[in-house]
């Protein structure tokens, strides 16, 4: 397949699945196997920047408030959520690197499906409370375990927030905001690997630009779509999709 089409699909998949509860990393690993292409750190960084900009555009008011008030309650909850994520990732790093080979992908897709379905059933008519440190901590722990391909970061953190008693809209918004430091940290790690590993960057510039724009635009769409969808607590269709994808992936990977 043409490198232009591959990068187009990778940009589209990254932009949509980064914020929908279906696992962007899982879909990209699956896509790499289907197209028989090696994952590129350069493209990974580029797409992370694109989706990060999507968050900035949609939540620029919230982000500006965090910058203006670095010691506010909201900023502190964000820090509380980020610390356990970093600790868990550091501890599990050897297993996480191996998991990107795809051997856990089918199981992880199915785990995500079960989590979404369970949360939908338990919290469907529940009225949640405002974001607090306890909910933030639980969501941070959940985010730490959601780094495995196939385990949706947004889905896992939103479900954790809802199961912990959080309000649907607030838990969803906080899930997207708490992804900012994690995306930044992953970008730093990937840049370090490029600088120390002598990675060769050899992609058509026009294809790279298209991939970036597609990831950015589709990311904005996915965030807004997910914000509206979560208010209705309608996660069952994503659960069905992930369950079927997990079963299918057993025959692909």
Instruction: Lowest mean pLDDT of 84-88, 108-112, 150-154, 189-193, name the range.
Output: 189-193
Using CA atoms of 169, 171, 172, 174 in order, give the dihedral in degrees to the nearest 10.
120
Using CA atoms of 89, 95, 96, 98 in order, give the dihedral in degrees to the nearest 10.
160
Residue 234: pLDDT band (50, 70, 90) is: confident
pTM of structure: 0.90
233 sits in the region (left: phi over 0; alpha: psi -120 to 50; else beta) called left
CB-count exposure of residue 67 (10 Å: 0-12, 13-18, 19+): exposed
Distance CA 65, CA 193 (A): 33
20 touches 51 (CB < 8 A): no
Distance CA 213, CA 218 (A): 8
pLDDT in tens, 35-77: 777 666 678 888 889 999 999 999 999 999 998 988 899 999 9
Residue 158 is predicted with a pLDDT of 94
pLDDT in tens, 134-164: 999 999 999 999 999 999 999 999 999 999 9
pLDDT in tens, 188-207: 887 887 777 665 667 788 98
């Amino acid at each position: 397949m043409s490198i232009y089409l591959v990068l187009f699909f990778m940009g589209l998949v990254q932009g949509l699945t980064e914020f929908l509860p279906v696992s962007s990393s899982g879909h990209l690993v699956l896509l790499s196997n289907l197209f028989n292409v090696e994952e590129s750190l350069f493209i990974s960084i580029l797409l992370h920047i694109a989706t990060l900009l999507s968050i900035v555009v949609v939540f620029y008011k919230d982000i500006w408030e965090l910058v203006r008030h670095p010691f506010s309650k909201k900023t502190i909850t964000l820090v509380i959520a980020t610390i356990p994520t970093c600790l868990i990732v550091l501890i599990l790093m050897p297993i996480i690197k191996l998991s990107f080979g795809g051997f856990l992908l089918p199981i992880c897709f199915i785990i995500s499906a079960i989590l979404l379905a369970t949360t939908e059933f338990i919290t469907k008519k529940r009225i949640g409370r405002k974001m607090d440190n306890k909910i933030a901590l639980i969501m941070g722990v959940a985010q730490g375990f959601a780094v495995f391909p196939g385990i949706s970061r947004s889905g896992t953190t939103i479900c954790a927030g809802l199961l912990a008693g959080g309000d649907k809209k607030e838990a969803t918004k906080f899930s997207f905001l708490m992804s900012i430091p994690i995306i930044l940290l992953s970008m730093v790690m990937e840049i370090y690997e490029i600088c120390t590993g002598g990675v060769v960057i050899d992609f058509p510039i026009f294809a790279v630009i298209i991939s970036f724009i597609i990831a950015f635009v589709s990311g904005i769409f996915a965030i807004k779509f997910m914000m509206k969808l979560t208010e209705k607590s309608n996660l069952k269709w994503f659960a069905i999709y992930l369950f079927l994808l997990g079963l299918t992936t057993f025959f692909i990977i």
